[in-house]
Structure formats: C-alpha cells, structure tokens
Amino acid sequence: MRKNVLTWVAFAATAGVLAGCQAAAGNGNLDEDVGETEFPPVNADDKYFKPGPVLATPDDKELALRFDYHQDVISVHKFTYVLRDNPAMHMDLADITGLKIPEDAGSEKPKVLPKYKNMSLPVKYDAREQGVGLPPIRNQGQCGSCWAFGSVAAVEAAIAMYDKQIVNLSEQYILDCSGKGTCGGGYWAYNLFLSPGGAMEQEYPYTGYDGACKSNKVSHPYKIESYHGLPDNDIEAIKGAIYQYGAVGVTMAVCGSFPGYGGGVYDSNECNWVGSNHIVALVGWDDNIQHKKGKGAWIMRNSWGESWGNKGYALMAYGTAGIEENGTYVIYKPEDPTDTDGDGVTDVHDNCDALQNADQRDLDEDGMGDACDATFDPFEKAVALSDDDSRKVDLGFSFPFFGTTYSSVYINSDGNLTFGQGDGQSENRSVQRFLTLAPRIAALYADLNPAAGGKVLYGKPTPDKFVVKYENVPLYGKNGTNSATVTLDKMAM
C-alpha cells in the first residue's frame, strides 16, 4: 500500500510557494427546463456531474422520463438513497421551495453570538425522540413558502423542548403578516415571534396563497426571547444549537433527483454547486451512519408532507447540497442576563466570567478563556472534512506570508493550506490553479477524500506553533493512503 509521508515547517521568508488572487465563484443556476433530449450523460467516473433535470414537474410524461434517468444515475454512482413517487414531484420546483435571499442580506441575516462553552455532544441525537418529540410534519403545498415553514419549525421545536408541549403555530400568519416574503419566496421570518408573538393554526389556518394580514383578529400566545445565526459549515456549532434549542433552520439547494427522495442517505454531489433555493430544519444527526461520501448525516425536517422522504424527514450526508449554510436558531427560554465581570458577554457565553475578557481569547481551546487560564495546554483536534471541503481555523498569532499577515488559515481536504479563503473546488489541480488561486502551502495537492478514511487534525503544541496533520487519508476512489504534517511557527518569522 502506497504511503507518502512529508513534514513541512513553513517559514514565510523561505517557503517555496506562490501567492495569488482568486476571483469570486458564483453558484450555478439550475435549468428547470432541461428536457428529455438534453439529459446529461451518466458516467460513473464523473463525481462532479451536472445535476440533470429536476425531478419536479406537473407534466407526467416528462416526469416519468426524468425519474428513469435519475434511477440510472443512482444505480451507476451507487448512491445510498432511493427514489419514490410523491405529490411534491408533480409540482413545479418554485412551488415546493421558496428561499429568496434579500439584496441586503447582511441586515437580514441573524447575527452570530460568541461561541458557547464547550459541551459534550453524543454521536447520535434525534429531537423526535427527546421529551414530547416534535410536531407532525407540515405541507406548504403549491406555494413557495418554505421560509415561513422553516421559521415556524425552529420555534415549534424550541417550545417542545422547553415547555414540553406540542403546538401547531400558523405559517399563514407568517406568510400574510411578517413582510419577509410571499408565495413567490422569502427569508427568515422570526420578527413576528419577538412581537406580537406567534398565532395558532386553528385561529389562522393555512390556505397556501397570499392573503391580507389578520393579526389583530387572533391571539399571540407564543413569543421567543431572541434568534441568532451560526457560522456557515460549522458542523459542531450546528449540533450544539440543535442539542440546546431543539432545531436549526438552514438553507439548501434542491435540484436534480432530490424532490423524489424516498429514503436512505442522500449522498449525491449533484446539488453541491447549485445555488440554495429552499429552507428546512435540522433536528438531529448520526455521526456513525455510513454512505458513499463516508460517515455522518443530518436528520432533516422538510415541509412537503409525510408522503415525501421518510414520513417527511430525510437523512442528509454532511456537506451535501449546501445544507450547513445560513443556520439559525431561536431562544425560547429566556437566558440569564447576568454579566458578573461586566465585559458585555453574559455569563452563559463567557469563558471567563470572573475577569473582563470581551475578546473571549482562548489559545488552547479548552473552554477556559486566557484571562482565567494561567496554563497553556497543548492539544490536537480532529477536523470533520468531506470530499472537496474546507475549514477556517484561527491561528492565535499573526503569521506573515509573502507580504501579507494572516491570523487564520483554511484547512482544505486536498492536503493544502490556504490563506484568505478556502479552496474547496473540485477540478483543475494544475499549476495554473496553484499560481492564480488563494496563497497556499501545498504539503499535498491531490484529490484526497477525508470522508473515506484517515484523519485530519490541527493543534498547538505551544502558543506560537500551529500544526496541521493529514494521517492516512485516501485519494478519491483509489487505494493507498497519504500523510503529511505542516507546522506554522511564529517564532521563526
């Protein structure tokens, strides 16, 4: 078995790598009107295949052709999910989705709070099995109101967790009164849950079309304390929010075969490079579940009725269809506002609540802020990376690299570190890519797949050293493993 071992100590003054600039890459737009004569070829060796025609159309003849095509794709690529006919497939894609990100998304997107204290999370968690469980699955019908259903799902899950009761809140109230969207699409709509509060379904029933607001004619018994965002692609942060608050609303890309999902683990790459168009809720996870991409999947709650998927739910492989982006959660139970040290960070968030440390600096990442922690504890931590993936990690010191100083680094699944932005692109591992994209240190520069085995770790043996290790990581679809170690040393600069 081939095994390449390499240790690199990188010094900005001597590292033999080239820096460059990367143009912003946009998501591709899905062509809903691809007909039967334009279906992309099916090639088992092409892991970045075009998604093909979306499995959602009211034209039954065309739908049958698309269904057969996607059955062939699943068979050839050996994916671990199945297709099954359901009502959502017989509608237009715009009718069963509905995410529309505002032009000024910065002001609309929920703000990210400081990190919570480290917590021990189980390898498997399912909110449906906790306490009173979760409310029945809803159905948005032929209205692009996923944004209203996703917002309500997060609130209902929080109420189930903290009040130990199942409630049925009105999505029509959100649709008519929030000002955040219509049946033509919308965005997160937690504003009404702050004030005047959510309405009940029985008082404000769902019609599936836009209507005049009747807020003053119904009661508003449920309010939330606040709502917050999560860092994109931070799997552990999403798990922590589900574990504490019941559910996390996320955006995702619906394309290709996804509307026909009927069970198993959705592990296709078909939607990974398509723009997000749908809002759903994550209510659990399973780190041990196996699929083609490796291990680990989310439990996703959809709004297409119980006839879709696994009674309205799906298992989504980590890193699939942009499922870990734009995460939000709500705090239904009021937090303790105590701020013992008066540094502007409440005790529940503060990693050193006895001494002021507004920056929450924690060099050894042990959950105790440096202001309270006299001893630096060396550490190594695993990084969960899927195929063609990237994670941003703070260095804890300034690292000069070819004329620019960086305080963080991106750990990429393909064995290279980049500065300024990650490199999760799937193609063109050529010299040209090396010269023109993000500045990098390329200990390895190959098509590695950490989801298939091995480990990727980062750590700090001292406050001024940062180490990244790739241990026995296989190439995509091939035998053999690859190992490398990269050390960034502040003192050597």
CATH number assigned to the domain comprising residue 315: 3.90.70.10
Is there a single domain that holds both residue 306 and residue 183? yes
Is there a single domain that holds both residue 203 and residue 310? yes
Q: Which of 331, 357, 372 lies at the terminal end of a domain, its last residue? A: 331
Q: Which of 310, 331, 352 lies at the terminal end of a domain, its last residue? A: 331
Residue-wise over 235-267: b if at least 16 C-beta within 10 A, else e?
A: bebbbbbbbebbbbbbbbbbbbbbbbbebbbbb
- Whether 413 and 405 have beta carbons less than 8 Å apart is answered as no
Domain assignment present for residue 152? The answer is yes
Walk along the chain (493 residues) and give the pLDDT tens digit of each residue: 333 333 333 333 223 332 222 222 333 344 444 444 578 888 888 877 888 999 999 999 999 999 999 999 999 999 999 999 999 999 999 999 999 988 765 555 676 666 655 678 999 999 999 999 999 999 999 999 999 999 999 999 999 999 889 999 999 999 999 999 999 999 999 999 999 999 999 999 999 999 999 999 999 999 999 999 998 889 999 999 999 999 999 999 999 999 999 999 999 999 998 999 999 999 999 999 999 988 999 999 999 999 999 999 999 999 999 999 999 999 997 667 789 999 988 887 788 999 999 988 889 888 899 999 999 999 998 887 777 788 888 899 999 998 899 999 999 888 999 999 888 776 666 676 677 788 999 888 788 888 788 999 999 999 999 999 999 999 888 888 999 999 999 865 5
pLDDT of residue 352: 92
pLDDT of residue 15: 31
pLDDT of residue 39: 87
Interatomic CA distance for residues 346 and 315, integer angstroms = 36
Q: Distance from CA of residue 421 to its chain's centroid?
A: 17
Is there a single domain that holds both residue 19 and residue 112? no
Is there a single domain that holds both residue 194 and residue 112? yes
Helix and strand numbers (H, E) in the chain are 8, 20
Domain assignment present for residue 82? The answer is no
Helix axes 235-245, 146-163, angle to 10 degrees: 60
Name the burial class of residue 188, with classes exposed (0-12), middle (13-18) and buried (19+) by CB atoms within 10 angstroms of its CB. Answer: buried
Strands 313-317 and 261-266: parallel
- Whether 326 and 250 have beta carbons less than 8 Å apart is answered as yes
Is there a single domain that holds both residue 326 and residue 457? no
Interatomic CA distance for residues 424 and 369, integer angstroms = 32
Query: What is the enclosing helix (H) or strand (E) of 465?
Result: strand 465-474
Is there a single domain that holds both residue 446 and residue 309? no
Tokens 């939330």 appear where? 224
Nearest Cα to Cα of residue 242 among 200, 288, 280: 280
Nearest Cα to Cα of residue 489 among 13, 161, 2, 4: 13
Phi and psi angles of residue 341, each rounded to the nearest 5 degrees, phi first: -95, 0
Structural domain that includes position 422: 3-25+387-492
Is there a single domain that holds both residue 400 and residue 322? no
Is there a single domain that holds both residue 306 and residue 201? yes
Is there a single domain that holds both residue 275 and residue 398? no
Domain assignment present for residue 87? The answer is no
Is there a single domain that holds both residue 396 and residue 322? no
Is there a single domain that holds both residue 405 and residue 314? no
Q: Distance from CA of residue 182 to its chain's centroid?
A: 25
pLDDT of residue 428: 65
| Domain count across the chain | 2
Domain assignment present for residue 368? The answer is no
Is there a single domain that holds both residue 141 and residue 208? yes
Domain assignment present for residue 423? The answer is yes
- Whether 488 and 464 have beta carbons less than 8 Å apart is answered as no
Phi and psi angles of residue 217, each rounded to the nearest 5 degrees, phi first: -105, 0
Domain assignment present for residue 253? The answer is yes
Question: Could you give the residue numbers annotated as active site?
Answer: 146, 278, 302
